A and B are shown apart, each in its own frame.
Chain A
Amino acid sequence: MPLISIQNITKKYHTYNSDWDRFLEAITNGWIRRRHEHWILKGISLDAEPGESIGIIGYNGAGKSTLLKIVLGVSTPDTGTIAINGRVAGLLELGVGFHPEFTGRENAVISCQLLGLAPDEIPPLVEEIKEFSELGEYFDEPMRTYSTGMAMRLAFSSSTAVRPEILVVDEALAVGDAYFQHKSMARIRRFREAGTTLFLVSHDPTAIKNLCDRAIILEEGVMIRDGRPDEVLDYYQAMVNRRKKDEEIRQFHGDGVVVTRSGDARMEITAIQILDMDGKPARVFKTGETARIRQTITCNDPHVRPNVGIMIRDRLGNHIYGTNTHLKKVAIDDRFEVGSQFHVDFDVQMLLGGGSYNVSVAVVDDALHSSHLDWIDQAVVFQVMPDGVPDYAGLTPLQARLSYGLGPGIERDPEHETERVAQHGAGRRADRVEAGD
């Protein structure tokens, strides 16, 4: 049985000429109609299994927040059904129910009470909230003395004190400083691993890629895409570009992944090859080997100044490395005639861990605010084998040397210490850095 089952729900908002009209219609259950209708959701169906996490993207006004509110139960659909088999918690807005005169502790208690927890469950949780929010002594001070960041930390820690079966998040992840953002992301990820189903609305593609295993696009109240986050995000990226210019979107299957292509085709990528250093086509490289990514481009418009680029991404869609001719300061200023071809090679040393990677290629117009000429997401896939490097943990085998010695390893020469300060004061910082490093 799915954890959440949404069947063909619709939601309209109504505007009325007067409050009297609004009341009349509501009390007669719609028998008397005085409304002007605005459709927000036009028939959304969605099943979510336990542990699945779904990212929702779309333009402003596409109905994302309304969908979240319906899942959270603070809004009712007009038609259709929604069945939820678990406890839903929401991070629609942080700090709901807080009062500035109460201390952090008292507000944390209120937050737990709002989650419907029993009185005896609350005290241990409050201690956990104190620890997670890292407010220290401020925890027992009134909240009006807090900075915005501190208030947000408290709010996030309290709202997520208990792992819910379903968590609904609306853009609320960017909380506090970078350190706390990581910490809150990690908490949400842990929830996910423990089986929480996540509904996440975000405009941040990285958040969706990192946290979701499924993504949907809402446009004008209709679900137009449902699939793997990297594919859906590529499509969304193309949608955004199309919106800027009325460009064509083509999706086709290549190499077993869905490829998204967009651009006005004034220049066209007619071939993509991955070659080894002998110039032979290759798809498997050892860690540390160099691959040549070659794009062949056909010119359809002689007035374009092309900027050609690549982006290497891993299986999860994380951006590993990207560059282009502009960044590399290689100007392509030849005048190309219509129909003429040129090629651009990127020689990339594959300092990558084992796994599957894909390359997106693009040619954009440098003169016209980088408008897309041709952009192919996930155009080719290649493999990296972790041969010849010692085992390690993580994404990429960074160069690391290791040594060890006895003793604490902390410099304790008071004379030296004064000297450093003196040198700093005298503005001879460079000397010291050189000696110290």
Chain B
Amino acid sequence: MNAAIAKVPFAAPLWQYRAFIWSAATREMRLQSMNSVLGWLWPVINAAALILLYMTLFVEVLKSRLPGSDDSMSYAIYLCIGIINWTYFSNTILRSLNIFGENAMLLKKAGFPKITLPVVVIVSQGVQFAIMMGVFAALLVVTGRIPGWPLLGMIPLLIIQQTIAISLGILLGTLNVFFRDVGQAVGIILTFWFWLTPIVYPLSILPPGVASFVTNWNPMTRIIDGYHNIFLNDLRPHTSDFIGHVVLALVLSGLAYFCFKRLYSAVQDYL
């Protein structure tokens, strides 16, 4: 590894343990694919079934459209892109909650860098996300709706979204060691959060007061909206909309790091 990479925080242990990260991230999928004929195809089939279901239901049966759009597929695309990204976000948080409990034996008995564990969550959820996104993109290609260069705008949005997710995950996961209530509460909060984000409904149907509240105080609104703009309007995200998000992501990750550092010794003794 060259010297430049070595300066990035945590890069050295993460690079050294890359084989472990990949194998731990794909562990569940490998276990599920065991003794099954289709094996690795099942997650793909799952994703395809879900997307096809939405497509037929909203395009053919309910004939739902976004307000002001004459594209028959607009609402189905709107829904799918929101759900796929939200799932990546919320599952990252949920899986981080038990990050210490699930790996208690490893943490207590084997010396390996702890920083790998949140990365394992990001990668394992990333694989699920990539499968969903891959199937969805294939469908867009087939129907001639794949966006152009603005598609690259997804990358910064994903980085911001996942930084927020994993920071919250580590923060709440550390607290969850001490208070199991946290895990229970987070499940409920994420459900509310989901419905407070314009994923199933368009923002425009909300009363103006609620809409501005949701836009200004729910960071996921602008992120999901950014994806919508990329896929439905072929528009790249505006940098100015996301300055607050970058600050939030940095603050949260700093807080998560501080909390983890402070509490880890207690976590170790408590496991």
- Of A117-125, A376-384, A391-399, A411-419, the one contacting chain B is A117-125
Please classify how large the interface on chain B is, using the bins under 10, 10 to 19, 20 to 34, 35 or more. Answer: 20 to 34
Interface residues of A in 363-384 (CB under 8 A from B): none
Q: Number of A residues whose C-beta is below 8 Å from B?
A: 35
Q: Which of A14-45 contact B (CB under 8 A)?
A: 14, 19-20, 22-23, 26-27, 29
Does B270 sit within 8 A of A, measured CB to CB?
Answer: yes
> Which of A55-63, A91-99, A327-335 lies on the face that meets chain B?
A91-99
Q: State the Cβ distance, B14 to closest chain A Cβ, in Å.
A: 10
CB of A7 closer than 8 Å to a CB of B? no
Q: Chain B residue with minimal CB distance to A168?
A: B111
**Chain A CB within 10 Å, residue with most, of B19, B24, B112, B265:** B19
CA A74 to CA B100, docked complex, whole Å: 13
- Nearest-neighbour CB distance to chain B for A168, whole angstroms, equals 8
Q: Which A-chain residue is minimally distant from B34 (CB atoms)?
A: A101
Q: Does B107 contact A (CB under 8 A)?
A: yes
In angstroms, Cα B30 to Cα A110, docked, is 13
Give A87-129 as 1s and 0s: 1 = Cβ < 8 Å from B's Cβ atoms. Answer: 0111011001101011000000110111011110010000000
Closest to A23 in B: B178
- Is B17 an interface residue, CB under 8 A from the partner? yes
Contact B268 A113 (CB under 8 A): no
B16 interface residue, CB < 8 Å from A? yes
Q: Which residues of A contact B262 (CB under 8 A)?
A: 26-27, 29
Residues of B within 8 A of A76 (CB): 264-265, 268
Task: State A54–B265 Cα separation when bound (angstroms).
Answer: 26
A residues in contact with B269, CB < 8 Å: 13-14, 75
Q: Is the CB of B109 within 8 A of A116?
A: no
Secondary structure dominating the interface of A: mixed
Q: How far is the CA of A73 from the CA of B105 in the complex (A)?
A: 14
When distances are taken between beta carbons in the complex, the residues of chain B under 8 Å from A73 are 111
A65 to B266, CA, bound (A): 17
Q: How far is the CB of B124 from chain A (nearest CB, A)?
A: 15
- Residues of B with C-beta under 8 A to A27: 259, 262-263
Interface string of B90-134 (1 = CB under 8 A from A): 000000000000000111111111000000000000000000000
* CB <8 Å contact, A116 and B268: no
Cβ-closest chain B residue relative to A19: B178
Q: A19-B179, A74-B108, A97-B106 are in contact. Are A118 and B19 (CB under 8 A)?
A: yes
In the complex the two chains form, what is the Cα distance from A101 to B23 in whole Å? 15
Given contacts A96-B106, A97-B106, contact A114 B20 (CB under 8 A): yes
Q: How far is the CA of A89 from the CA of B110 in the complex (A)?
A: 8
Q: Does A72 count as interface, using CB distance less than 8 angstroms?
A: yes
Known: A22-B178, A99-B31, A114-B106. A74 touches B23 (CB 8 A): no
CA separation between A310 and B111, bound complex, in Å?
45
How far is B4's CA from A80's CA once the two chains are assembled, in angstroms? 33
A114 touches B109 (CB 8 A): no
* Minimum Cβ distance to chain B for residue A18 (Å): 10
Interface code B152-166, partner A: CB below 8 Å = 1, 0 otherwise? Answer: 000000000000000
* B83 contacts A by Cβ under 8 Å: no
Q: Find A96's partner among B16, B19, B31, B105 (CB 8 Å cutoff).
A: B105
Q: Mark B22-48, 1 if CB is under 8 A from A, else 0.
A: 011001001100100000000000000
Determine if A122 and B111 form an interchain contact, defined as CB atoms under 8 angstroms apart: no
Contact across chains for A122 and B19 when beta carbons are under 8 A apart = yes
Knowing A76-B268, A96-B105 touch, does A113 contact B17 (C-beta < 8 A)? yes
Partner of B19, one of A72, A88, A117: A117
Residues B19 and A92 in contact, CB atoms below 8 Å apart: no
Distance in Å: Cβ of A197 to nearest Cβ of chain B: 15
Task: Tell me, yes or no, whether B250 is within 8 Å of chain A by CB.
Answer: no
B105 nearest CB neighbor, chain A only: A96
Contact: A92 with B109, CB < 8 Å? yes
Instruction: Tell me if B63 counts as interface (CB < 8 A to partner A).
Output: no
Q: Cβ of A89 and Cβ of B31 under 8 Å apart?
A: no
Residue pair A113, B19 in contact (C-beta under 8 Å): yes
Indicate if B175 sits at the interface (CB-CB under 8 A). yes
Q: Which residues of A contact B111 (CB under 8 A)?
A: 72-74, 88-90
A176–B109 alpha-carbon span in the complex (Å): 21
Residues of A near B112 (CB, < 8 A) are 114, 116
- Tell me whether A109 and B109 are in contact in the complex, defined as CB-CB below 8 angstroms, given that A23-B179, A29-B262 are known contacts: no
Contact B266 A74 (CB under 8 A): no
Q: Across the interface, which residues of A come within 8 angstroms of B268, CB to CB?
A: 74-76
Complex Cα gap A180–B178 (Å):
42
CA distance A404 to B30 in the complex (A): 59
CA distance A116 to B107 in the complex (A): 15
Q: For residue A119, which residue of chain B has the nearest CB?
A: B19
Q: Given A97-B105, A113-B19, A119-B19, is A90 in contact with B265 using a C-beta cutoff of 8 Å?
A: no
Q: How far is the CA of A159 from the CA of B12 in the complex (A)?
A: 22
| A22 in complex: contacting residue of B27, B30, B266, CB < 8 Å | B266
CA distance A119 to B30 in the complex (A): 18
A26: B residues at CB distance < 8 A: 262-263, 265-266
Q: Are A116 and B34 in contact (CB under 8 A)?
A: no
A116 touches B265 (CB 8 A): no
Q: Which residues of B contact A97 (CB under 8 A)?
A: 105-106, 110
Name the CB-closest residue of B to A103: B34
In the bound complex, do residue A109 and residue B23 qualify as a contact, i.e. CB atoms below 8 Å apart? Answer: yes
Contact of B110 among A13, A96, A101, A112 (CB under 8 A): A96
- Given the interface pairs A26-B263, A27-B263, A101-B34, the reply to whether A74 lies near B19 with Cβ below 8 Å is no
A19 to B177, alpha carbons, bound, how many Å? Answer: 9
Given contacts A96-B106, A101-B34, contact A116 B20 (CB under 8 A): yes
Chain B positions within 8 Å of A29 at CB level = 262
10 closest Cβ pairs, A-B complex = A113-B20, A26-B266, A113-B19, A76-B265, A93-B109, A73-B111, A23-B178, A72-B111, A92-B109, A96-B109
Known: A102-B30, A114-B20; 9 extra A-B contacts, CB below 8 A, are A26-B262, A27-B259, A74-B107, A92-B109, A96-B106, A96-B110, A109-B23, A113-B19, A118-B19
Which of A's residues lie within 8 Å of B, judged by CB?
13-14, 19-20, 22-23, 26-27, 29, 69, 72-76, 88-90, 92-93, 96-97, 99, 101-102, 109-110, 112-114, 116-119, 122
Footprint of A on B, CB under 8 Å?
Answer: 13, 16-20, 23-24, 27, 30-31, 34, 105-113, 175, 178-179, 259, 262-266, 268-270
- Pick 6 A–B contacts, CB within 8 A, sort by A: A72-B111, A74-B109, A88-B111, A97-B105, A113-B19, A117-B19
